[in-house]
């Protein structure tokens, strides 16, 4: 077995970078741990400025030919990548579960099929991308999307391949070349994606994968003068650092920086539905940027809602994410467990009451944390204002619609919001006043790639999805043609 191959869940994964159509090592490595048992999975090539520069150069060299490739051919190759993902769906699911600890059944049924769909959707969208011509004083205006150039895509660990391909697919469809920097806590499926893209026939240099730490490889990419677009998903502090580095080169950025989303439950809501929605917020051990971790419940139903939710939370089956019956797996990394537990401990010290959970569950494994519900929390407290990114919900009550809105909008975030009510007029009225990029009414996590995705305030900058992705990954180009001035032979 090669020193550069790690066997993970029965699949061989190359641990080197993918640059210019071939594998490239680094002088140093870092250790990738499995959240399931805390054991090392692989020693991963640790990229930094030299590898980032080589990848950007490869992307720059490949860009002219790829940008000139007819859209139909680009779309064909994206569909071929989707076919490769579908063919290796179970392998990808098992490797990603081993690497980031999310439920295997979710990866098989939802996440990996969505990875393939990302490529198919943007391939098809490319072929329908058009803007109608329009006239100005007899002149013809034509609008077109022109590829911008090499793109740096820096992706998170909580849904590694799905969120990576949410960026890779539209960037490639638009005619750009890509340097992908996966999160160091879950890099393995990005390496497999490079193999799949190569097998599909993607030309060398069009997709490059550089592994490493954000402070090294990520920083080098964000500051690189050869990069024409940067898309980043992650924390607010890192987003600020990416934006600052990009500003030196005036590189456009798209930033999705998480949230502290509310779930508003009105007294006229279907209470069973409202409790179901609340329980969904524990999905992926709470490591979901869109999670509505702040439960805001109207006083008349608060006691009954709380009783039902506590019972449901305590009944969640925690354990090995590879087991079909498991509903709540581990956190991704020891540092994440320390972070989550620190939030809860400080909240309790400040007066919060633990209704259920509130501590790790070491009997199940080193990184399991009990589903937690806290009440008696102040609106200005850390636990209400800051993103925990773990299975921790807070519960506050309100008396009036205005009070609910004040609480819901009372953080620096604005990524999403969820609303449970039986009143259509209230639903429309409240949804219109919530500061959020996406509002779900009597549902949660219903996503369509045709819709724009992004947040307000500290939740980020920009929108991606549908035509909005092409708007970001392209330079919009307008040609205005006069009706006169043509020669007889023109």
pLDDT digits (tens, 9 = 90+) for 267-290: 999 999 999 999 999 999 999 999
Q: Is 151 a catalytic residue?
A: no
Quick one: which of 445, 391, 381, 388 has its CA closest to 416? Answer: 445
The shares of helix, strand and coil residues in the chain, as percent rounded to the nearest 5, are 40, 20, 35
Residue 487: is its pLDDT beyond 90? Answer: no
Q: What is the DSSP code (8-state) at residue 110?
A: I
Boundaries of domain holding 311: 262-441
User: What's the rounded mean pLDDT across residues 249-262?
Assistant: 97
Q: Which residues of 53-81 are buried (b: 16+ CB within 10 A; e: fewer)?
A: ebbbbbbbebbeebbebeeeebbebbbbb
Q: Which residue has the tokens 């820096």?
A: 154
- Give the residue from 206, 225, 257 where a domain finishes: 257
Whether 125 maps to a domain, the answer reads yes
| 211 and 122 belong to one structural domain | yes
Q: Is 256 in the active site?
A: yes
Q: 3-state class of 332 per DSSP? A: coil
Neighbouring residues of 205: CB distance < 8 A, sequence distance ≥ 6:
20, 21, 58, 59, 61, 62, 177
Both 169 and 248 in one domain: the answer is: yes
Closest to 112 measured CA to CA, from 183, 166, 157, 162: 162
Catalytic residue from among 91, 151, 289, 298: 289
Four-point Cα dihedral 246, 247, 248, 249, nearest 10? 60
Question: Do 63 and 200 fall into the same domain?
Answer: yes
Whether pLDDT at 2 is above 90: no
238 shares a domain with 383: no
Residues 380 and 396 occupy one common structural domain: yes
Q: What is the pLDDT of residues 95-109, one digit of tens each?
A: 999 999 999 999 999
Q: 185 pLDDT exceeds 90?
A: yes
Helices (H), 316-362: 334-349
Instruction: List the beta bridge partners of residue 440.
Output: 418
What is the four-CA torsion angle of 282, 114, 264, 156, rounded to 10 degrees? 60
Q: What is the pLDDT of residue 488?
A: 72
Q: In 3D, which of 272, 291, 319 has the Cα closest to residue 394?
A: 291
Alpha helices in 7-136 (DSSP H): 49-68, 71-87, 89-100, 104-106, 112-128
Question: Is residue 115 a part of any domain in this protein?
Answer: yes
Encoding tokens for residue 123? 């391939």
List the CATH number of the domain containing 70.
3.40.605.10
Condensed to tens digits (0 to 9), the pLDDT of residues 376-435 reads 999 999 999 999 999 999 999 999 999 999 999 999 999 999 999 999 999 999 999 999
Helix axes 160-173, 188-200, angle to 10 degrees: 40
Q: Are residues 193 and 300 in the same domain?
A: no
pLDDT confidence bin for 490, thresholds 50/70/90: low
Can you tell me the distance from the alpha carbon of 243 to that of 201, in angstroms, rounded to the nearest whole number? 34
Look up the pTM and report it: 0.96
Q: How far apart are CA 65 and CA 73, in angstroms?
A: 12
Average pLDDT over residues 296-312: 98
Quick: pLDDT tens for 129-156: 999 999 999 999 999 999 999 999 999 9
Rounded distance, CA 334 to CA 411, Å?
28
Report yes or no on 92 lying in a domain: yes
Bridge-based pairing of strands 262-265 and 372-375 is: unpaired
From 51, 216, 256, 298, active-site residue: 256
Q: Per the domain annotation, does 33 fall within a domain?
A: yes
pLDDT at site 485? 86
What are 264's strand-pairing partners?
296, 419
Check: CB of residue 326 under 8 Å from CB of residue 320: yes
| DSSP state, residue 64 | H
For residue 427, what is the enclosing H or E element? helix 424-433
Asked if 315 and 278 sit in the same domain, the reply is: yes
Tokens of 104: 């295997």
Dihedral pair phi/psi, residue 70, rounded to 5° = -55, 140
Number of folded domains that form the chain: 2
DSSP-assigned states of every residue in 184-203: TTS-HHHHHHHHHHHHHTPP
* Mean pLDDT in residue range 225-235: 97
In a domain, 407, yes or no: yes
Arithmetic mean of pLDDT, 224-235: 98
Confidence of residue 1 (pLDDT cuts 50, 70, 90): very low
Q: What does the pLDDT read at residue 489?
A: 67
> How far, in Å, CA of 234 to CA of 458, rounded?
12
- What is the mean pLDDT of the segment spanning 464-487? 95
Please determine, for residue 449, whether its predicted confidence score (pLDDT) is greater than 50: yes
Share of the chain above pLDDT 70, in %: 99
Shared domain check, 269 and 239: no
| Crossing angle for the helix pair 160-173 and 89-100, to the nearest 10 degrees | 130
Rounded to the nearest integer, the mean pLDDT of the chain is 97
Q: Does the residue 483 lie in any domain? A: no
257, 283, 306 — which closes off a domain?
Answer: 257
pLDDT tens, 159-176? 999 999 999 999 999 999
The CA distance from 462 to 464, in Å, is 7
Please write the tens of the pLDDT for every residue from 75-87.
999 999 999 999 9
pLDDT bin (cut points 50, 70, 90) of residue 3 is confident
List, for residues 36-70, the tens digit of each pLDDT value: 999 999 999 999 999 999 999 999 999 999 999 99
Q: What pLDDT score was predicted for residue 41?
A: 97
């Amino acid at each position: 077995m090669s020193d550069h191959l790690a066997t993970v869940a029965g699949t061989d994964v190359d641990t080197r970078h993918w640059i210019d159509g071939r594998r490239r090592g680094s002088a140093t490595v870092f250790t990738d741990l499995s959240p399931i048992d805390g054991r090392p999975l692989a020693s991963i090539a640790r990229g930094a400025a030299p590898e980032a520069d080589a990848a950007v150069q490869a992307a720059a060299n490949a860009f002219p030919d790829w940008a000139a490739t007819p859209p139909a051919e680009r779309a064909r190759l994206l569909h071929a990548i989707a076919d490769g993902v579908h063919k290796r769906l179970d392998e990808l699911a098992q490797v990603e579960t081993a690497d980031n600890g999310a439920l295997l059944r979710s990866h098989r049924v939802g996440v990996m099929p969505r990875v393939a769909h990302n490529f198919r959707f943007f391939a098809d969208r490319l072929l329908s991308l058009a803007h109608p011509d329009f006239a100005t004083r007899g002149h013809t205006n034509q609008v077109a999307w022109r590829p911008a150039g090499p793109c740096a895509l820096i992706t998170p660990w909580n849904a590694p391949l799905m969120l990576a391909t949410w960026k890779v697919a539209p960037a490639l469809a638009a005619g750009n070349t890509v340097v992908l920097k996966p999160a160091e806590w879950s890099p393995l499926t990005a390496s497999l994606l490079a193999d799949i893209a190569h097998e599909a026939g993607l030309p060398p240099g069009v997709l490059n994968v550089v592994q490493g730490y954000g402070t090294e490889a990520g920083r080098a990419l964000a500051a690189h003068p050869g990069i024409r677009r940067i898309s980043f998903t992650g924390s607010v502090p890192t987003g600020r650092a990416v934006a600052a580095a990009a500003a030196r080169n005036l590189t456009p950025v798209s930033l999705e920086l998480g949230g502290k989303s509310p779930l508003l439950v009105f007294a006229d809501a279907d209470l069973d539905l409202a409790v179901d929605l609340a329980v969904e917020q524990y999905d992926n051990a709470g490591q979901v940027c869109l999670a509505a971790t702040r439960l805001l419940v109207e006083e008349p139903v608060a006691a009954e809602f709380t009783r039902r939710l506590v019972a449901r939370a305590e009944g969640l089956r925690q354990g090995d994410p590879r087991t079909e019956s498991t509903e709540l797996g581990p956190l991704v990394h020891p540092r994440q467990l320390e972070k989550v537990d620190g939030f809860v401990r400080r909240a309790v010290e400040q007066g919060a009451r633990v209704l259920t959970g509130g501590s790790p569950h070491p009997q199940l494994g080193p990184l399991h944390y009990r589903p937690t519900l806290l009440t008696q929390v102040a609106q200005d407290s850390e636990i209400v204002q800051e993103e925990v990114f773990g299975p921790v919900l807070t519960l506050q009550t309100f008396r009036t619609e205005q009070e609910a809105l004040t609480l819901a909008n009372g953080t620096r975030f604005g990524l999403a919001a969820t609303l449970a009510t039986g009143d259509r007029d209230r639903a429309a009225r409240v949804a219109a006043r919530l500061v959020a990029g996406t509002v779900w009414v009597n549902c949660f996590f219903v996503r369509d790639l045709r819709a724009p995705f992004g947040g307000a305030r500290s939740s980020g900058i920009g929108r991606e999805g549908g035509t909005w992705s092409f708007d970001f990954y392209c330079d919009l180009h307008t040609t205005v043609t006069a009706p006169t001035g043509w020669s007889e032979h023109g």
